[in-house]
Amino acid sequence: MRMAGTWRIPAVIAIALILAPAPSRAQLVETSIQPAAEGNWSATAGRTSGAGNSVLQVEAGWPGIGFTWLKGLDERSDLGFHVAFNYGLEGTSTSVTGVNLAIPYRRTLAYMGDTTIAFDMQPGISLYRNNGALFGIGGPIGIVAGVQVNPQLTLDAGADVPVLISFSNPAGFFFGPQLGGGGEYLIDRNLAVTARFRVGPRFALDSAGSNSQTGFVTLIGLAYNAR
């Protein structure tokens, strides 16, 4: 009889724990897995902003300062608007002032575990002050692969081919492949720090002749997902 009394107390405690209020247990579980719910969108890497979401992004560096709005058409596609105020000619070391207006489009092509591959392009118009007005149409076309290292951090590698057809001062064709990488870090579920780096040759075939130089893009930014 004495042993039965001894085991009765632990049994009562176990029953009390099982019957504890469900909200208390749920709160504990939710806190422990909350980070796993993050990282389901991207402003510059392989994933898109998500169906119905709107992403606002600002970037600064070389060749200028840019503002981008992206709208998630569905889970795989984004369409938006981009405006940039540049102090470098199309990512080269030539210092001129100009403005670029573009319509960015992104499309996720494949999912492979934590890796996502996407196609992106930014067709638009560019206007520079270069001993007169340099006006052209074009934009970068590229592929980016993003690897989600953890729920907060995504690293990416990309290849772009910026193209510009100029109609004046000088008239001609500018192009060149660029390779590089970047990353995104989620400060919280809706706010991310972004970074992009690209480098490669830029070729010019224009009315002044032909030449080449090294082009590069270095941009740091903030992106906000207005879900």
The listed CATH number (2.40.160, 3.40.50, 3.30.300, 1.10.260) that belongs to domain 41-226: 2.40.160
State pLDDT tens for residues 105-120: 999 999 998 999 999 9
What is the value of pTM for the model shown?
Answer: 0.79
State pLDDT tens for residues 8-47: 444 444 444 444 444 444 443 333 323 333 458 999 988 8
Measured between alpha carbons, how far is 156 from 147 in angstroms, rounded to an integer? 6
DSSP codes, 59-123: EEEESEEEEEEEEESSSSEEEEEEEEEESSSTTBS---EEEEEE--EEEEEEEETTEEEEEEE--
pLDDT value at 49 more than 70: yes
State pLDDT tens for residues 168-203: 888 999 999 999 999 999 999 999 999 999 999 999
- CA 123 to chain CA centroid, nearest Å: 17
Measured between alpha carbons, how far is 197 from 115 in angstroms, rounded to an integer? 19
